[in-house]
């Protein structure tokens, strides 16, 4: 399977009369873009903003981050979600780089929403603080969940995916500034030099623990709670087959932007044929009941073993309860002789003295730690807030609580609500250390 990603490096985003891209400047026709958002009649209010690194802007409640891109050939963006199901991972995709579309609630937040600062000490806590962002701020008539802590955020998230594709389409016919090619032959059709290298798989455990539908990670539009682990080509991940959910406390979240740019997949692809034989991705899930957790762990181990894997990197989109799935999967892989490295964040408490993972096992002896959800932050006031600051205190965001927002606009919070900050996709520049 061969996928070309044509890249357009965004240096600036401006509003203008026609959506288009020229020499690094992305222009957005606000009216036309908002019309795409409002194709869904459940969107009651929508506005667009542009934020850049250094702007004195705080965004909260941020619900999703999406790369603005489009399929030029070989399928459709977000198949099974905002477009009919079609295979992806081959052909040509054009993407606007160094930029993202951020989806923000105008008023109402939920458990999985988070905060981004575009300047100050906390800007570096999430990759989106270093990017040029188009921001959709909106509200909906989804009354059934307005005052619920758990929200599907369906209308706004889907509006984001439509809008990201709409903007992405402005570079469909243009010549990319750079083309990145991702190619991987069928597992049993590789030359002997590649076969001689240690074989590795990437095991992704996206967040899928809501039993009710509408909250979990989607794979080709299919709820990840309803799968047993399955084998995927890395290109499918990089080409929009996976859409982020609306449940996980946000520092542990993998946004749709990060699925499409998954740095772990990219590193393994780059090393393929040089240091390793990258077999592909085992798409697993995270579960609620113990038999479900164990079933998925067994199946991942079985699949890895029978694909001939010598090594596996396991990444968990979550913390707390799903640590059980994560550690169990590492244990089962080690049991069948597949050497593992795990990648996840920790929850050690504000004093740092709590057990870092809910489940522990001596077999989990090679772990990368991407952050601590309970790290305590004190944020100074910010000149402009997009969204509503009080949502952090009022709406049950995982790292906020009643009274955490002060009248002067400063706030205290736990890392738990810093948007995607632990980046279990692999972007994290943080680790955890002993004191």
- Total residues contacting another protein by CB under 8 A comes to 78
Choose the binding region for another protein from 39-47, 153-161, 178-186, 416-424 (rule: CB under 8 A). Answer: 416-424
Q: How far is the CB of 41 from another protein (least distance, A)?
A: 26
Q: How far is the CB of 313 from another protein (least distance, A)?
A: 5
Q: Which is nearer to another protein, 287 or 296 (CB)?
A: 287
Q: How far is the CB of 431 from another protein (least distance, A)?
A: 5
Residue 405 vs residues 223, 380, 411: alpha-carbon distances, Å: 35, 10, 4
Segment 123-162, which members bind another protein (CB under 8 A)? 124, 149-150
Phi, psi dihedrals of residue 402, rounded to the nearest 5°: -55, 125
What are the DSSP calls for 56-110, one per residue? -EEEEEEEEEE--EEEEESS-SSBTTTB-----SSEEEEEEETEEEEEEESS---
Find the length of the chain.
435
Segment 246-265, which members bind another protein (CB under 8 A)? 249, 263-264
Q: Please select the residue that binds another protein; options are 355, 378, 383, 384, rule is CB under 8 A.
A: 355
Residue 134 vs residues 81, 100, 103, 141: alpha-carbon distances, Å: 21, 6, 9, 23
Q: Please select the residue that binds another protein; options are 146, 169, 267, 295, rule is CB under 8 A.
A: 267
Q: Which is nearer to another protein, 402 or 408 (CB)?
A: 402
**Distance between CA atoms of 15 and 365, rounded to whole angstroms?**
51
Choose the binding region for another protein from 7-15, 38-46, 130-138, 361-369 (rule: CB under 8 A). Answer: 361-369
Maximum Cα–Cα distance for the chain, whole Å? Answer: 66
Q: How far is the CB of 36 from another protein (least distance, A)?
A: 32
Choose the binding region for another protein from 86-94, 271-279, 291-299, 379-387 (rule: CB under 8 A). Answer: 271-279
Segment 281-320, which members bind another protein (CB under 8 A)? 288, 310-311, 313, 315, 319-320
Q: 100 CB contacts (<8 Å, ≥6 apart)?
A: 65, 66, 67, 68, 128, 131, 133, 134, 257
Contact pattern from residue 85 through residue 124 relative to another protein, giving x for each residue in contact according to CB under 8 A and a dash for the rest: --------------------------x------------x
Q: Would you give the DSSP letter of residue 175?
A: P
Q: How far is the CB of 135 from another protein (least distance, A)?
A: 25
Helix (H) or strand (E) holding 279: strand 277-283
Choose the binding region for another protein from 2-10, 42-50, 234-242, 342-350 (rule: CB under 8 A). Answer: 342-350
Choose the binding region for another protein from 16-24, 55-63, 230-238, 394-402 (rule: CB under 8 A). Answer: 394-402
Q: Which is nearer to another protein, 362 or 407 (CB)?
A: 362
Segment 198-237, which members bind another protein (CB under 8 A)? 198, 200, 209-212
Residue 272 vs residues 5, 127, 198, 256, 265: alpha-carbon distances, Å: 18, 26, 10, 24, 10
Q: Please select the residue that binds another protein; options are 20, 53, 221, 352, rule is CB under 8 A.
A: 352
* In 169-240, alpha helices (H): 192-195, 234-238
Q: Please select the residue that binds another protein; options are 126, 140, 255, 375, rule is CB under 8 A.
A: 375
Segment 320-339, which members bind another protein (CB under 8 A)? 320-321, 339
**Distance between CA atoms of 344 and 135, rounded to whole angstroms?**
28
Q: How far is the CB of 120 from another protein (least distance, A)?
A: 15
Q: How far is the CB of 143 from another protein (least distance, A)?
A: 17
Choose the binding region for another protein from 80-88, 90-98, 154-162, 269-277 (rule: CB under 8 A). Answer: 269-277
Q: Is 354 in the site for another protein (CB under 8 A)?
A: yes
For residue 35, how many other CB atoms are within 10 A of its CB?
12
Q: Is 61 in the site for another protein (CB under 8 A)?
A: no
Nearest partner of 346 among 418, 422, 264, 412, judged by Cα: 422
Contact 393, 366 (CB under 8 A): no
Q: Please select the residue that binds another protein; options are 22, 177, 361, 378, rule is CB under 8 A.
A: 361
How wide is the angle at C-alpha 165 spanned by C-alphas 119 and 386, nearest 5°? Answer: 30
Q: How far is the CB of 189 from another protein (least distance, A)?
A: 23
Q: Which is nearer to another protein, 20 or 349 (CB)?
A: 349
Burial of 352 (0-12, 13-18, 19+ CB in 10 A): middle
For residue 376, how many other CB atoms are within 10 A of its CB?
14
Q: Is 185 in the site for another protein (CB under 8 A)?
A: no
Residue 125, preceding bond cis, omega within 30 degrees?
Answer: no
The token pair that represents 51 in the structure block: 């934020």
The token pair that represents 331 in the structure block: 């244990």
């Amino acid at each position: 399977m061969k996928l070309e990603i044509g890249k357009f490096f965004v240096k600036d985003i401006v509003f203008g009369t026609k959506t288009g891209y020229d020499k690094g400047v992305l222009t957005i026709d606000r009216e036309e873009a908002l019309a795409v958002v409002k194709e869904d009649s459940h969107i009651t209010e929508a506005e667009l903003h542009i934020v850049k690194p250094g702007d004195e802007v705080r965004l909260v409640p941020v619900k999703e981050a999406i790369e603005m891109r489009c399929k030029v050939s070989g399928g459709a963006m977000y198949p099974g979600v905002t477009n009919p199901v079609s295979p992806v991972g081959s052909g040509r995709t054009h993407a606007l780089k160094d930029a993202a579309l951020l989806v923000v609630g105008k008023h109402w937040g939920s458990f999985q929403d988070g905060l981004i600062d575009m300047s100050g000490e906390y800007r570096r806590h999430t990759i989106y603080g270093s990017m040029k962002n188009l921001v959709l701020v909106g509200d909906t008539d989804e009354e059934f969940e307005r005052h619920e802590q758990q929200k599907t955020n369906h209308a706004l998230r889907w509006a984001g995916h439509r809008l990201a594709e709409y903007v992405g389409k402005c570079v469909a016919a243009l010549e990319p500034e750079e083309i990145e090619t991702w190619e991987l032959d069928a597992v049993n059709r590789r030359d002997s030099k590649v076969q001689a290298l240690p074989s590795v798989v990437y095991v992704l455990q996206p967040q899928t623990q809501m039993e009710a539908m509408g909250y979990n990670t989607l794979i080709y539009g299919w709820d990840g709670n309803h799968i047993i682990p399955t084998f995927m080509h890395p290109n499918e991940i990089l080409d929009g087959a996976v859409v982020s959910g609306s449940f996980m406390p946000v520092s542990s979240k993998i946004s749709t932007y990060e699925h499409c740019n998954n740095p772990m997949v990219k590193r393994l692809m780059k090393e393929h044929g040089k240091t390793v034989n990258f077999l592909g991705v085992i798409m697993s899930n995270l579960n609620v009941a113990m038999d479900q957790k164990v079933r998925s762990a067994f199946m991942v181990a079985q699949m890895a073993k029978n694909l001939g894997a010598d090594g596996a990197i396991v990444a968990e989109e979550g913390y707390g309860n799903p640590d059980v799935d994560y550690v169990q999967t590492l244990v089962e892989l080690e049991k069948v002789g597949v050497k593992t490295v795990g990648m996840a964040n920790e929850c050690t408490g504000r004093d740092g003295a709590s057990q870092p993972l809910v489940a522990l096992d001596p077999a989990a002896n090679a772990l990368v730690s991407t952050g601590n959800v309970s790290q305590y932050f004190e944020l100074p006031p910010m000149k402009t807030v997009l969204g509503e600051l009080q949502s952090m205190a009022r709406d049950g965001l995982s790292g906020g609580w009643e009274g955490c927002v002060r009248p002067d606009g400063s706030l205290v919070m736990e890392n738990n609500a810093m948007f995607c900050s632990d980046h279990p996709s692999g972007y994290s520049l943080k680790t955890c250390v002993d004191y």
